[in-house]
């Protein structure tokens, strides 16, 4: 079967130092009918200027303000022409064969809407950082196979809850059905929100063996930064309220309350008020 056209969507914000390698790795794997859409989220490091001068083959979409991963990716998807949408972080380096492996996993079943590759730590590439999304009973959406040696990852495709936005191949038909990323999430957990909406509409997701990319984690948001803590807390509760069916939410509610109580207590003890602030922001939105 001839592979449909792919649009690689790369939202970027102040990550010029990563872009040359990211783009080069993608160019080596894409076909002439594919495209790369670089969405500049109002970067201050000259990423847009660099792309215009040094990457004329890339479609550049310059946004007047930073819309985050969710809004930036949505803008790229809206401008893209491909039937398939490759999502990859600007600080990720796709290893050889990554794109073909994602497509091989996706094409087997038309009701599989997303294929996830394995992100590995750039400084410890022998360990997996994420191979998709796992949803736990306490409402935590976490990374599948986090910390697992790459040599021990499954070598056959298998169903997963959802694909991480850091490395995924999506059918456009999936987004036409369930809608784009939740733009008001800005960043973090927008992929888990999409995974929930996809599953509720009957779409599946699959892990694609052989699809890997090296990833520099929290290059934009900052590992453990107050900004990231606020968005994670806020978006977690938004996701639970918007996506969980009533019976599941009812069954999980004790574990959810326990988790968030402990998280808020930890934040207060460690003088990290944004852990609570994000949750308060989400609760204030409730009717």
The answer to whether residues 113 and 169 touch, using CB atoms and an 8 Å cutoff, is: no
Handedness of CA 37, 229, 148, 115 (dihedral sign): negative
Helices (H), the chain: 19-27, 47-54, 68-79, 98-107, 172-178, 190-200, 226-243, 246-269, 274-284
Which contiguous run of DSSP H or E holds residue 136?
Answer: none
Global pTM reads 0.95
Which residues are CB-contacts of 251 (< 8 A; sequence separation ≥ 6)?
none
Residue from 17, 15, 21 nearest 39 by CA = 15
> In this predicted model, what pLDDT tens digit does every residue of 145-184 receive, in sequence order?
999 999 999 999 999 999 999 999 999 999 999 999 999 9
> Hey, what domains does the chain have and what are their CATH numbers?
6-117+156-208 (3.90.550.10), 226-284 (no CATH)
Average pLDDT over residues 70-75: 99
> In this predicted model, what pLDDT tens digit does every residue of 42-63 receive, in sequence order?
999 999 999 999 999 999 999 9
Which residues are CB-contacts of 279 (< 8 A; sequence separation ≥ 6)?
233, 234, 236, 237, 260, 263, 264
Q: In Å, how far are 112, 202, 266 from 197, measured between CA atoms?
A: 13, 9, 31
> In this predicted model, what pLDDT tens digit does every residue of 89-130 receive, in sequence order?
999 999 999 999 999 999 999 999 999 999 999 999 999 999
Separation CA 264–CA 283 (nearest Å): 14
CA 29 to chain centre: 20
């Amino acid at each position: 079967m001839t592979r449909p056209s792919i649009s690689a969507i790369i939202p970027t914000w102040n990550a010029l130092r990563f872009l040359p390698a990211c783009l080069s790795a993608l160019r080596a794997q894409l076909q002439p009918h594919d495209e790369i859409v670089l969405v500049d989220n109002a970067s201050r490091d000259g990423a847009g200027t660099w792309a215009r001068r040094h990457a004329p083959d890339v479609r550049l979409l310059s946004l007047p303000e930073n819309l985050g991963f969710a809004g930036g990716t949505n803008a790229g998807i809206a401008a893209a022409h491909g039937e398939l949408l490759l999502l990859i972080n600007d600080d990720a380096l796709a290893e050889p064969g990554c794109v073909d492996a994602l497509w091989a996993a996706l094409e087997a079943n038309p009701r599989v809407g997303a294929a996830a590759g394995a992100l590995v730590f750039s400084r410890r590439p022998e360990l997996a950082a994420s191979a998709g999304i796992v949803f736990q009973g306490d409402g935590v959406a976490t990374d599948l196979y986090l910390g697992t040696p790459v040599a021990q990852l499954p070598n056959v495709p298998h169903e997963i809850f959802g694909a991480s936005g850091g490395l995924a191949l999506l059918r456009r038909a999936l987004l036409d059905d369930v809608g784009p990323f939740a733009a008001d999430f800005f960043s973090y957990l927008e992929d888990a929100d999409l995974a929930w909406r996809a599953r509720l509409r009957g779409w599946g997701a699959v892990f694609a063996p052989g699809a890997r990319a090296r990833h520099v984690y929290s290059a934009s948001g900052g590992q453990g930064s107050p900004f990231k803590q606020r968005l994670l807390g806020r978006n977690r509760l938004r996701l639970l309220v918007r996506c969980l069916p009533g019976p599941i939410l009812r069954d999980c509610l004790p574990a959810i309350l326990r988790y968030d109580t402990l998280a808020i207590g930890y934040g207060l003890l460690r003088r990290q008020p944004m852990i609570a602030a994000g949750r308060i922001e989400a609760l204030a939105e409730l009717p």
